[in-house]
Amino acid sequence: MLLIRNYDLWCHLSDEDYAELKIEHHVMEVPKGEYIYFEAYNHNKIYFVKEGYIRIGHLDADGNEKISEIIQKGELFGQFTLEKSNLNGEFAQAYKQDVSLCAFYIEDFEKLLPLQADPTIKLHRSRINLASDTRIKPLFERAAEAKRYFAKTGIYQINHGMVIRRPIFERHPWAALNIYNAFAKARGDVIPARDTSLLRHFEPGLIGDDVRKALATDPMAYGVKGNRKVLETITQYVHEQGLSARRVALEEMFAPSTMDL
């Protein structure tokens, strides 16, 4: 599932831009309780919520509804699949009240993105569990591929980042550095306990100096300096894949006080 929150779709489009794009869309008025999509119909579109609320959910193995998201006014969502019969029960339903939507085809939505000056897009994974579907298998053996990729690139993929809203940072510029220091201190408090617990294995030789050396290398270091290579690789991929109009510099994303940490 694609989910884009707090995003003004039209904020950078003039009337002339919109007319030139010749974007095909239509407004949907959906009564409370009716489905926007369920299983095999009305998927592979983008929906912009003009008014109302949408429940996103799926059916579990026993046929019970499991709700994963509540979509609100001003947000976009959609479900994409290559097989019309393979949504695994995921649905979008008008919730609390009648809903007004603007529906786009994927190709038309893609025309809008390059015109956005500074899109802030958050993608949320679908919460459907495909582990029980025997048709879904990894392309590569996970452990072996992770080892090969790290040996080749030195990159252990970043999984999380800390974000501060710009107005908050401008009012309290010390916040970024204090947050970094808090995380660094927490890690510093944990490592001695780890080393103490491993001592009983080191002393009798159950694990050797090669393990000590490996543990001295932190594949998940905090800060920009320790992650510059992977961060710059991410910005390169994001631009190459058309998700940003240009390659964004790290200096534009991270607080100046944290660039050398």
Give the per-residue pLDDT at 117: 46
DSSP code for 41: B
Q: What's the full length of the chain, in residues?
A: 261
Low pLDDT (below 50) residues in the chain = 5-6, 11-13, 82-87, 117-124
List alpha helices for the chain, DSSP H.
Answer: 15-21, 106-112, 142-153, 166-171, 174-202, 209-216, 228-240
Assess if residue 168 is contained within a domain: yes
Whether residue 182 is found in the same domain as residue 77:
no
Assess if residue 109 is contained within a domain: yes
User: Is the distance from CB of 59 to CB of 89 less than 8 angstroms?
Assistant: yes
Give the per-residue pLDDT at 11: 46
Assess if residue 122 is contained within a domain: no
How crowded is residue 227: how many other Cβ atoms within 10 Å of its Cβ?
19
Give the per-residue pLDDT at 47: 84
Whether residue 108 is found in the same domain as residue 154:
no
Whether residue 152 is found in the same domain as residue 109:
no
Give the per-residue pLDDT at 175: 92
Tell me how far apart the alpha carbons of residues 94 and 183 are, in angstroms, rounded to a whole number.
41
Phi, psi at 100, each rounded to 5°: -115, 125
Whether residue 157 is found in the same domain as residue 251:
yes
Assess if residue 54 is contained within a domain: yes
Whether residue 152 is found in the same domain as residue 252:
yes
Domain end (from 115, 150, 180): 115
Whether residue 107 is found in the same domain as residue 149:
no
Assess if residue 71 is contained within a domain: yes
Give the per-residue pLDDT at 148: 92
Give the per-residue pLDDT at 177: 92
Domain end (from 80, 115, 150): 115
Whether residue 231 is found in the same domain as residue 176:
yes
| CATH for 86 | 2.60.120.10
Show Cβ contacts of residue 20 under 8 Å, excluding neighbours closer than 6 positions.
none
pTM equals: 0.48
pLDDT in tens, 247-258: 999 999 999 999
Q: Which residues of 183-218 are buried (b: 16+ CB within 10 A; e: fewer)?
A: eeeeeeeeeeeeeeeeeeeeeeeeeeeeeeeeeeee
Tell me how far apart the alpha carbons of residues 73 and 94 are, in angstroms, rounded to a whole number.
12
Whether residue 13 is found in the same domain as residue 108:
yes
Number of structural domains, the chain? 2
Range of the domain at 18: 2-115
Assess if residue 126 is contained within a domain: no
Tell me how far apart the alpha carbons of residues 50 and 27 are, in angstroms, rounded to a whole number.
9
User: DSSP letters along 193-212, please?
Assistant: HHHHHHHHHHTTTSS-HHHH
Domain end (from 66, 99, 115): 115
Assess if residue 178 is contained within a domain: yes
Assess if residue 124 is contained within a domain: no
How crowded is residue 101: how many other Cβ atoms within 10 Å of its Cβ?
26
